[in-house]
């Protein structure tokens, strides 16, 4: 049996075809979106943008889901650990990222009934576009897209070593294409050979 000599036998990771998914937003871009949210000229616009960022970037919800979430019907805290907030949807329960939980708590306190995002018009072809209409962003920022916020959330969750079965349960997606598209945004562990030990069922620190 051949014996490995060094981690050099681990080939470079190659992605044979480019992904059609947009990459996650950078932390700087997200910070700029949040600055824009607090700088909006009206309370309504602040509410809309905070809700979109919180439910999209903090829970990976799709646009239609963001438009329907209410504090009374969908938002819950863990009964034994108040750090954990979840969004209860018809098909899944989604944990909210810890850094988004304070904003979600504030939104729920301010708007305990009705949709968190506010009144939604169903008479337009693009309800989310209508909600975001008039919201001002710095010209250097990329367009705000709910799908890209969701991708950003997905990448963060997968970077926290959540198993694929668990990820699909909270994300509501079973698409192999989506997982493949996210792969370039999930970095290899700092120790380039660590994943080999994990895949072999070996505790590298033992």
Q: What are the structural domains, with CATH classification, of the chain?
A: 24-199 (1.10.443)
For every one of its 206 residues, what pLDDT tens digit does the chain have, with 9 covering 90 and above?
Answer: 555 545 555 555 555 455 566 789 999 999 999 999 999 999 999 999 999 999 999 999 999 999 999 999 999 999 999 999 999 999 999 999 999 999 999 999 999 999 999 998 877 788 898 899 999 999 999 999 999 999 999 999 998 888 888 999 999 876 777 788 888 888 877 666 777 777 777 876 66
Q: Give me Rg for the CA atoms of the chain.
A: 20
Note whether 23 and 151 are within 8 A (CB).
yes
Q: Give whole-number Cα distances, 197 to 13, 45, 159, 206, in Å.
A: 17, 50, 18, 11
**172: number of Cβ within 10 Å:** 16
Backbone φ and ψ for 93, nearest 5 degrees, come out as: -115, 125
pLDDT in tens, 68-102: 999 999 999 999 999 999 999 999 999 999 999 99
Rounded to the nearest 5°, which phi and psi values hold at 50? -60, -40
Residue 125: the pLDDT is 83
State pTM to two decimals: 0.85
């Amino acid at each position: 049996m051949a014996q490995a000599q060094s981690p050099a036998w681990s080939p470079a990771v190659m992605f044979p075809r480019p992904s059609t998914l947009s990459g996650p937003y950078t932390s700087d871009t997200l910070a700029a979106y949040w600055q824009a949210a607090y700088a909006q000229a009206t309370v309504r616009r602040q509410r809309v943008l905070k809700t979109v960022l919180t439910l999209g970037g903090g829970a990976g919800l799709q646009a239609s889901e963001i438009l329907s979430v209410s504090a009374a019907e969908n938002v819950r805290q863990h009964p034994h650990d108040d750090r954990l907030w979840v969004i209860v949807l018809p098909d899944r329960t989604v944990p909210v990222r810890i850094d988004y939980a304070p904003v979600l708590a504030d939104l729920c306190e301010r708007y305990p009934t009705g949709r968190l995002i506010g009144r939604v018009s169903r008479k337009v072809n693009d309800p989310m576009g209508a909600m975001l209409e008039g919201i001002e962003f710095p010209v250097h920022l990329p367009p705000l897209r709910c799908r890209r916020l969701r991708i950003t959330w997905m990448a963060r969750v997968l970077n926290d070593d959540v198993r694929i079965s668990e990820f699909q349960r909270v994300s509501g997606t079973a698409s192999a294409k989506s997982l493949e598209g996210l792969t370039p945004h999930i970095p290899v562990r700092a120790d380039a050979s660590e994943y080999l030990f994990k895949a072999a069922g070996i505790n590298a620190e033992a």
